[in-house]
Structure 1
């Protein structure tokens, strides 16, 4: 089984990428195959709502999305990390989410994949739950199975994430729950 980690932060090597690496380390320890999409390394233009993907199996915008689509298609689980920007996730992640409409239009390609969310803010109550809820909304629109960390909505840290012991524990617990549900579904 394969889990993809998507960092929705435009900042290279920062909190979200560190959270994704930590979450995927949990998955690797349980023998899951892993892959990543770090928005900081990709070019993802905003959706133009041109409707071309209704008739095509590809998006007419020439950027990194075709590779990202394929990574999302083959994954059994998707974990998304996002920083809080003005109370929600950043525009770069919104562009990826908007462009994922192609996968929805192509027989709900993400349906029944297991999804989880992580978020980092500037303080303990810095908008992370709202950001996670918005990520969950995207997952629900695709028909995904959404999990939290067994007690809350998902992994919630504050900056700097790697120094937030309690927060990083919620990241690990979220990854464990994602693995648990995939194992239940696929009877590993």
Structure 2
């Protein structure tokens, strides 16, 4: 089974570290992390060409590769830092462009989980998680949070950058691992593995 982790940050920092932490709980699964900062993504223009073309976008950029990876995955873990109380603009662009995948419900019944990281406690992490949840629900995905220890809606971490490294709160690291564990549990239930 394949699990794709998507780093919605404009850089490779604490969000990437948290996604990697979640993937540690998915030993035995095929896992991959991609960072949106490695791709060029144009905005969705709502031209409706994807609806007329059976889900094919007329804009040719990095989205095509990301969409193919999302279609191949059994589960997707989305991570985003908090930017002014919500997801990053780059992640919102990916979400908008994923309209192509909804034309034929290509993400339906895939497992989805969310990770958010902010600079302070109660710094917008839950709003960021809700934006990711909304995207998953719009696609008909199976939304999971975490289990024990719990942050209720997924991983909500606090991080600060110190020189060239990131200090992530211990609770955030635990809930990132818990998200990975829950994704594993649900995938195993769905696929009939104990």
Please say whether Structure 1 and Structure 2 have the same fold, judged by a TM-score greater than 0.5. yes
Alignment RMSD: 1.1
Three-state SS of the structure 2 residue aligned to 1:120 is: strand
Determine the structure 2 residue equivalent to 1:18: 17
In structure 1, C-alpha distance between the alignment counterparts of 2:183 and 2:50, rounded to whole Å: 30
State the shift of 1:55 in Å: 2.0
Q: Contact 1:58/1:66 (CA < 8 Å) preserved in 2?
A: no
Determine the structure 1 residue equivalent to 2:41: 44
Q: Contact 2:80/2:115 (CA < 8 Å) preserved in 1?
A: yes
Three-state SS of the structure 1 residue aligned to 2:10 is: coil
State the shift of 1:163 in Å: 3.1
Three-state SS of the structure 2 residue aligned to 1:22 is: helix
Three-state SS of the structure 2 residue aligned to 1:17 is: helix
State the shift of 1:101 in Å: 0.5
The TM-score with structure 1 as length reference comes to: 0.94
Determine the structure 2 residue equivalent to 1:83: 81
Three-state SS of the structure 1 residue aligned to 2:80 is: strand
State the shift of 1:162 in Å: 4.5
The TM-score with structure 2 as length reference comes to: 0.91
In structure 2, C-alpha distance between the alignment counterparts of 1:58 and 1:17, rounded to whole Å: 29
The runs of at least 4 aligned residues of structure 1 exceeding 6 Å deviation read: none
Determine the structure 1 residue equivalent to 2:72: 74
User: Number of residue pairs matched?
Assistant: 184
Determine the structure 2 residue equivalent to 1:179: 184
Residues 173 and 162 of structure 1: CA distance in aligned 2, closer, same or farther (over 3 Å)? farther
Residues 36 and 163 of structure 1: CA distance in aligned 2, closer, same or farther (over 3 Å)? closer
Per-residue Cα deviation, 1:54-94 (whole angstroms, up to 9, x for no partner): 12242111210111111000100000000111110011000
Q: Contact 1:162/1:168 (CA < 8 Å) preserved in 2?
A: no
In structure 2, C-alpha distance between the alignment counterparts of 1:174 and 1:33, rounded to whole Å: 16
State the shift of 1:18 in Å: 1.1
Correspondent of 2:56 among 55, 58, 65: 58
